[in-house]
């Protein structure tokens, strides 16, 4: 069913329909379209467009549709509708009749798609932040493991000066931190709700748009309806973030491809990220890294295409903007997959420290140290630079390294050189000399690793009996202020396997539990963080950890009763009716201090919503 047919005496021909329809790719917004529709139904009830009964019928029908969509998203793509909005509205009308036609009151597909797309982008950006964090952790762990390993540093792919392999690792940690910062900034600007902007001029109904935004987990509502429906800056920003990060990943991949080559032999990649040749049985090809390098161009292409699409569009919405999705839908999963693959490569690296050290000794990489030595002897650097150049020529002619030249040879070129030159030319001395902040000396690299690890302050893990006292303290605190149900300490001991905790600097500062009912339904309970701990992100990390646990246990649905629905919306939960919860859940409400004036919102998470990403066990504050 088309949503716009009244103006036309005949429908579109088949060729135009196929050219125009977006459902084959925007079906990926099905969950977001339904969640946005549930929120809009609530907004319409608040302005008396819908009665309470009508609102309940619509929400129940939308929740049932969401369950179907989550279970089989591919079926939506081939359903034959114009777009995801047509699909959802038609399916809703099939369930509730003409009542389904009331839901679009005051709303346009323009503000719908802008909202859907932001919700999808927000969820995807959060997954990418976690993946970048996990890659950064792997690099820091590798740097710590290989601390002291020396490799040649390069400029122009020529051996330049020796550096610690750990210094190389931490260089990419710096890049990833900037990638995280850019993405976090983009996420902040993206998290604005356009719903209620109508087609371009706003809605004629007195919708509380700030409340609507909060219900959907947005930070605020958009301030200009023209901008809200036509803005795709957030798509450009995401693709820009992806392109810069992929550029970093591609450079990382190129370095490792070179280090892994037979000519270098500095590292060996794990079998799990390499492949063989169909003809040459001796080959072990770095395919994972080459694909990262190759897919970088694919992401760059999506960014360029988006910029070209938007460059001359007048306000407000234009059909050209339908081209905003396919590129992003391809680029974001590509970026995510490349991050995961880079992490797999890092975790499987074996470093041949003897070979790296031998290479670092070659190529006269200590020439700069010799020039500095001459400066210390009172020779101007430019003159010293020339003297060292002559000595390098002599060393090449004799087939030696600089440190292998005789003192007599040194003195022939520069009489100021003495026996004390040899300790200066040793490899370890070259490394140790770089002591300024950001240098490759062991103390500086150790400091960089320590600083990076401090940023990874939060650790989340399954609880054990040693954590009972800390968990008890957290639960009792939040129970006293009426935010959580009280629990006996003996109950915590018996159910310790349900709990997860966060640690900051080795101290338990947050907890939550996953309670499983006889029906297979699970509930997140007892979520609380030490109010005196100012490290953010613990609640999000606990929820993600428990959702991952629920996935591994093959659970289908996780619920929560909460007074902060916006927080859980950001984690992928959606509101549901308390009537849909088992009687056993509602019996627990008898223990609540606010049972006679309950203001908790029931929310649910369908496990099928969890993507294949691995949730890392630490988080940047």
CA distance 621 to 602: 28
Structure tokens at 234: 């957030």
pTM over 0.75: yes
- Taking a C-beta distance cutoff of 8 angstroms, is the pair 300, 338 a contact? no
Q: What is the pLDDT of residue 306?
A: 96
- Using one digit for the tens of pLDDT, what is the confidence trace for 32-70? 999 999 999 999 999 999 999 999 999 999 999 998 898
CA distance 64 to 60: 6
CA distance 46 to 50: 8
- The low-confidence residues of the chain, meaning pLDDT below 70, are 1-12, 582-598, 608-621
Of the residues 277, 304, 406, 577, which is catalytic? Answer: 277
Q: What are phi and psi of 167, to 5 degrees?
A: -65, -40
Of the residues 10, 156, 278, 490, which is catalytic? Answer: 156
Q: How far lies 581's CA from each of 71, 213, 264, 575, in Å?
A: 20, 26, 62, 12
CA-based torsion, 122, 128, 130, 132: positive or negative:
negative
CA distance 64 to 34: 10
Contacts of 362 (CB under 8 A, 6+ apart): 152, 159, 401
85 in catalytic set? no
Q: What is the pLDDT of residue 270?
A: 93
580 in catalytic set? no
Q: What is the pLDDT of residue 621?
A: 35
Q: What is the pLDDT of residue 613?
A: 39
- Using one digit for the tens of pLDDT, what is the confidence trace for 461-478? 999 998 999 999 999 999
CA distance 196 to 210: 10
CA distance 342 to 288: 8
> SS3 sequence, 574-618?
EECCHHHCCHHHHHHHHHCCCHHHCCCEEEEEEHHHCCCCCCCCE
Q: What is the pLDDT of residue 614?
A: 37
Q: What is the pLDDT of residue 612?
A: 39
The 3-state DSSP class for residue 411 equals helix
CA distance 41 to 36: 9
Q: Residue 316: is the preceding peptide bond cis (ω within 30°)? A: yes
Q: Which is it for strands 499-504 and 507-516: parallel, antiparallel or unpaired?
A: antiparallel
Q: Which has the closest alpha carbon to 235: 130, 123, 299, 325?
A: 325
Instruction: Show the domains of the chain with their CATH numbers.
Output: 5-105 (1.10.275.10), 110-357 (1.20.200.10), 367-425 (1.10.40.30), 457-619 (3.40.630.30)
Q: What is the pLDDT of residue 615?
A: 37
Q: What is the pLDDT of residue 618?
A: 39
Q: Which position has the token pair 């957030």?
A: 234
């Amino acid at each position: 069913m088309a949503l716009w047919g009244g103006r036309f005496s005949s429908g579109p021909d088949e060729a135009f329909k196929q050219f125009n329809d977006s459902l084959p790719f925007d079906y990926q917004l099905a969950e977001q379209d339904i969640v946005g529709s549930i929120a809009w139904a609530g907004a319409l009830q608040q302005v008396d467009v819908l009665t309470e009964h009508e609102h309940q019928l619509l929400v129940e029908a939308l929740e049932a549709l969401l369950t179907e969509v989550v279970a089989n998203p591919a079926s939506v793509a081939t359903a034959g509708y114009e777009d995801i909005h047509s699909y959802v509205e038609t399916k809703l009308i099939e369930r509730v009749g003409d009542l389904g036609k009331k839901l679009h009151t005051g709303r346009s597909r323009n503000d719908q798609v802008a909202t859907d797309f932001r919700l999808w982008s927000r969820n995807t950006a959060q997954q990418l932040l976690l993946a970048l964090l996990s890659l950064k952790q792997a690099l820091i762990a590798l740097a710590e493991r290989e601390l002291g390993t020396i490799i040649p540093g390069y400029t122009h792919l020529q051996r330049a000066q020796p550096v610690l392999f750990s210094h190389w690792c931490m260089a990419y940690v710096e890049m990833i931190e900037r990638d995280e910062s850019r993405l976090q900034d983009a996420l902040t600007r993206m998290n604005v709700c356009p719903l209620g902007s109508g087609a371009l001029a706003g809605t004629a109904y007195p919708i509380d748009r700030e409340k609507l935004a909060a219900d959907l987990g947005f930070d605020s509502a958009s301030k200009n309806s023209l901008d809200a429906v036509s803005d795709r800056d957030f798509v450009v920003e995401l693709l820009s973030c992806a392109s810069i990060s992929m550029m970093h990943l591609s450079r990382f991949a190129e370095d490792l491809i070179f280090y892994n080559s037979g000519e270098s032999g500095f590292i060996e990649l794990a079998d799990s990220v390499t492949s063989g040749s169909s003809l040459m049985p001796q080959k072990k090809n770095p395919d994972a890294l080459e694909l990262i390098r190759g897919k970088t161009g694919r992401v760059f292409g999506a960014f360029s295409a988006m910029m070209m699409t938007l460059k001359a569009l007048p306000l407000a919405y234009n059909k050209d903007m339908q081209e905003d999705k396919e590129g992003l839908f391809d680029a974001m999963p590509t970026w995510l997959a490349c991050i995961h693959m880079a992490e797999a490569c890092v975790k499987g690296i074996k470093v041949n420290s003897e070979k790296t050290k031998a290479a670092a000794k070659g190529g006269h990489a200590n020439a700069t140290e010799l020039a500095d030595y001459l400066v210390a002897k009172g020779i101007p650097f430019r003159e010293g630079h020339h003297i060292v150049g002559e000595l390098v020529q002599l060393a090449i002619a004799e087939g030696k390294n600089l440190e292998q030249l005789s003192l007599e040879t040194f003195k022939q070129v520069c009489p100021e050189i003495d026996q004390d030159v040899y300790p200066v030319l040793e490899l370890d001395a070259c490394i140790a000399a770089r002591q300024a902040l950001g240098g490759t000396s062991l103390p500086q690299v150790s400091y960089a690793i320590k600083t990076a690890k401090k940023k990874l302050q939060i650790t989340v893990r399954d609880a054990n009996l040693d954590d009972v006292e800390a968990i008890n303290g957290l639960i009792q605190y939040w129970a006293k202020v009426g935010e959580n149900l009280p629990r006996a300490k003996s109950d915590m001991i018996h159910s310790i396997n349900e709990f997860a905790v966060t640690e900051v600097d080795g101290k338990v500062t947050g907890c939550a539990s996953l309670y499983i009912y006889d029906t297979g339904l699970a509930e997140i309970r007892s979520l609380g963080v030490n109010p005196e701990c100012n490290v953010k992100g613990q609640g999000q990390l606990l929820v993600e950890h428990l959702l991952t646990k629920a996935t591994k246990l093959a659970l289908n649905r996780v619920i929560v009763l909460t007074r902060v629905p916006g927080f859980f919306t950001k984690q992928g939960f959606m509101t549901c009716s308390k009537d849909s919860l088992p009687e056993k859940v509602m019996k627990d409400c008898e223990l609540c201090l606010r049972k006679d004036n309950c203001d908790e919102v029931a929310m649910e998470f369908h496990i099928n919503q969890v993507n294949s990403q691995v949730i890392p066990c630490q988080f940047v504050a």
